[in-house]
Structure 1
Amino acid sequence: MARLLSLLLLTCAAMAAQADEHTVVVKAAAPEKGCVEVEVNGKRAQSMSCLSEKLLPNSNTVKGPPPTLSGAEATVQRPSNQLGLYNRAALEHRMGNAFGKSVTPQRPTPAPPASPLLPAR
C-alpha cells in the first residue's frame, strides 16, 4: 500500500515537471453568496429572505448624504396650495357650509339696511 502511494506521488510530480509554458491552469472563482433554489413536488421555490437581501440597496448608498434636488425637482416637492393647484382642504374652508351643496361659497348674511330715522350707533 505504501509502495502504491509513493508511486502515485512520483507520477504526479513527474506530470507537474512535464508541464510546459503552454499549459493553462484555471482556478475556479470563489462562489458568490447566492440564493438556493429548491424543487419540491415539481414546483420550484426560492428563499424569500435571500431575495429580499438582494433587493436591499448597497450599504455605501444608504450611508451617503441624500442627493441634492435641482430647481425643477424642488418645485415639484412643494405643497399643492403653494403651487396654486387644487387643494381639497382649502376648497372646503373657502366654501364653508355650502361645500357639496352649492356652487357659490358661504357668505355672511347681509346686514339689514339702516333706518334713516334712527341715529347711527
Structure 2
Amino acid sequence: MKSLWNIILGGCLLTAFGAAQAEQPPGCIDVTVGGYKAPNYDCLSQQMGNNPEGAKAAQKNREAMNVPVYKRPPNQVGLATPAATATRMGNAFGNSVKPQRPQGQ
C-alpha cells in the first residue's frame, strides 16, 4: 500500500513538474560564427509578440501609416517643394526659367 502511494505521489509530482516546464517558453539560442554573434530573430520575435496589448499597438500603427493623401507632405506625394526646386535651379532660382549650369570650357 505504501508503494502504491509513492507511485501516485511520484506521478503527481512529475505531472506538476511537466506542466511547469511547458508554461515556460524555450530560450533563444545565439550562435557565434567567426567571432560575430547571430541571434535567432524568429525566436525573439515570438517572445516579443506575446504581448496582449500588441494587437492594439499594431492597429494604431496601421492607422497612423494610412494618412490621407491630402494630409501628406508634398515630397511624399511626388510634388516639387521649394527646397528641391531651389537646389535644382541653383542661383538662377527666381531669376530665370533655365537651371544653372556650370561654365563650359
User: Shorter-chain TM-score: what band?
Assistant: 0.3 to 0.5
Question: Normalized against structure 2, the TM-score is what?
Answer: 0.32
Structure whose residues are more often helix by fraction: 2
Which of the pair has more CA radius of gyration? 1
Higher RCO (CA-CA < 8 Å; seq separation 6+): 2
